[in-house]
Structure 1
Amino acid sequence: MKRILVTGSTGTLGRPVAALLASLGHDVRGLSRRPGAAHQGDLATGAGLDAALDGVDSVVHCASDTRGFGRTDIAATRNLLDAAARAGNPHIVFVSIVGVDRIPYPYYRVKLDAEGLIEAYGGTILRATQFHEFVLAGARLAARLPLIPAPDVPVQPISTRDVAARLAELVDRPVPGRADDLGGPEVLHAPDLFRAYRDRIGSRRRVVPVRLPGAAFRAFRNGEHLTPAHRSGGERWSDFLGGTAVER
């Protein structure tokens, strides 16, 4: 049994990661900014991190300022690593995104810079493709419009449970530096994913493939965010969508 700190433990990925590690018998600490939390801490300021990391064997770093496009992620990662060094250098596994070194998208640049910090510390980096939940959020937002715009790009969606399983393996059997990328079991066309969601909610609105200008979108169209050689054998988009509550 290991004592493991999970940052972002209430988030889309952090929640299944914490649950899986606990089910495997580990002593899991979830880092939270919420007052009254058992392990309260603020990555952006570093407050409470020393106490949260005390006696920890491993850290799974899932937290990210997605709403702010990673605005605080570099400071947060530095604060975490500084506190980890003071706590005896527990192993750290960091979750990143496939293609961050090939796609000139601002949030991806932040993730790539954070990877550099993790690598210098001696931690493990796992890049994964887009989560099912991320694709679903985009489809839900687009389906509110009279016509449903969908980015004209390939997508390799993956279950957060499958990512959590790989992270648990990396906690037990650390890989120095960057582990093999992890992608979903199939590469699909984003408009087709959006059509599947439209059909799931019983809408008749037309899905319109959209092409945007710029180097970042061109890189997405070229599949720089995919890893077909490293497909997981896990949950497919259709299975995920079939088990998701309908929300218009």
Structure 2
Amino acid sequence: MNRILVTGSTGTLGRPVIALLHRLGADVRGLSRHPSHSSPADSPALPADGPLPAAGPRTFRGDLATGEGLEQALAGMEAVVHCASDTRRMGRTDLQATRNLLDAAGRAGHPYILFISIVGVDRIPYPYYRVKLRAEALIEAYGGGILRATQFHDFVLGGARLAARLPIALAPDVDVQPISTTTVAARIADLLDDPRPGRAPDLGGPEVLHTPDVFRSYLTAAGSHRPVLPIRLPGATFGAFRRGAHLTPHRSPGPHWSDFLQNHFPGTPTTP
């Protein structure tokens, strides 16, 4: 598929997806509520080999929550990569946004839609995950595809930075399987070459790490000497994370957590 729309194109995943599809020669366009805020991905630069299309990607202004701008953005598209999510408000508008996208896509010739979800949304009773699971059902009813991935490096880094604001960094006593957004983008490109309905195999990072160790590695890279305190919380959600419901045995090759830190903090040791 060559004509592709990416929702959430200025976000953590949308930016590397746009960059890769463009490098591969696709006629790719983005959809964002704030297209003027678009910036290069923070991930490592893609290789420069291979032809680029003459024109760069276009970003269309649109609002999935209201449906504004969707018909113009979808015109002529063969596929949609649905990356957008209202993460700051726990997915409050995600279901309506997905409905609006599917309705507009139905009027625009029914392009293939690939929805990006999270490993474990069907096993962890976290409110945001429940929203993702309901959105998956909408995508399946439309006939689209679903790719679940584990935790992005950027997300794990955000958690570590948040914990580092306290004199003692509190770290969930759970494992994590961080993955590079460039790895996820590459898998998305592969799935668009062979579009199929339903759920694709889960995509996991190359290693499973203990979150307190991850936070310590970040603090060391950032030059901080704060101690890290592992914590356990009551309830079914934390219990599911403790059991590893957010992990997958399917491990992809690609950058490790230490490689990601090296990119953000030069001088950080990488894995052998």
Which category describes the TM-score, using the shorter chain as reference length? over 0.9
Which structure 2 residues correspond to residues 24-43 of structure 1 after superposition, within 5 A? 24-34=24-34, 38-43=59-64
Partner of 1:46: 67
The TM-score with structure 1 as length reference comes to: 0.96
Cα offset, 1:34, TM superposition: 3.0
Of 30-39 and 171-180, the range deviating more from structure 2: 30-39
Determine helix, strand or coil for the equivalent of 1:212: coil
1:151 to 149, 152, 172: 172
Code of the residue aligned with 1:136 in structure 2: it is L
CA deviation map 1:15-65 (0-9, x unaligned) = 000000000000111102237785121100001101110000100000000
Please tell me whether residue 231 in structure 1 is matched to residue 251 in structure 2: yes
Which structure 2 residues correspond to residues 104-123 of structure 1 after superposition, within 5 A? 104-123=125-144
Structure 2 CA distance for partners of 1:38 and 1:127, relative to 1, 3 Å: closer
Code of the residue aligned with 2:260 in structure 1: it is F
Q: Which runs of 4+ in 1 moved over 2 A?
A: 34-38
Partner of 1:96: 117
Partner of 1:163: 184
Cα offset, 1:175, TM superposition: 2.4
RMSD: 1.3
Cα offset, 1:84, TM superposition: 0.4
Contact 2:35 2:60 in 1 (8 A): no
Determine helix, strand or coil for the equivalent of 2:264: coil
Code of the residue aligned with 2:19 in structure 1: it is A
Partner of 1:55: 76
Partner of 1:241: 261
Distance, in Å, in 2 between the alignment partners of 1:22 and 1:86 is 26
Cα offset, 1:245, TM superposition: 4.1
The TM-score with structure 2 as length reference comes to: 0.88
Code of the residue aligned with 1:180 in structure 2: it is P
Q: Unmatched 5+ residue regions in structure 1?
A: none
Of 201-210 and 151-160, the range deviating more from structure 2: 201-210
Distance, in Å, in 2 between the alignment partners of 1:136 and 1:209 is 17
Cα offset, 1:204, TM superposition: 1.4
Determine helix, strand or coil for the equivalent of 2:121: coil
Determine helix, strand or coil for the equivalent of 1:145: coil
Which structure 2 residues correspond to residues 122-141 of structure 1 after superposition, within 5 A? 122-141=143-162
CA deviation map 1:155-214 (0-9, x unaligned) = 000000000000011111112200000000001100000010011112111100010111
Contact 2:116 2:147 in 1 (8 A): yes
Please tell me whether residue 195 in structure 1 is matched to residue 216 in structure 2: yes
Distance, in Å, in 1 between the alignment partners of 2:212 and 2:80 is 37
Determine helix, strand or coil for the equivalent of 2:5: strand
Partner of 2:10: 10
Contact 2:222 2:265 in 1 (8 A): no
Q: Unmatched 5+ residue regions in structure 2?
A: 37-57, 267-272
Determine helix, strand or coil for the equivalent of 1:134: helix
Determine helix, strand or coil for the equivalent of 1:47: coil
Which structure 2 residues correspond to residues 50-89 of structure 1 after superposition, within 5 A? 50-89=71-110
Code of the residue aligned with 2:198 in structure 1: it is G
Distance, in Å, in 1 between the alignment partners of 2:35 and 2:180 is 30
Q: How many equivalent pairs are there? A: 245
Question: Percent identity between the aligned chains?
Answer: 73
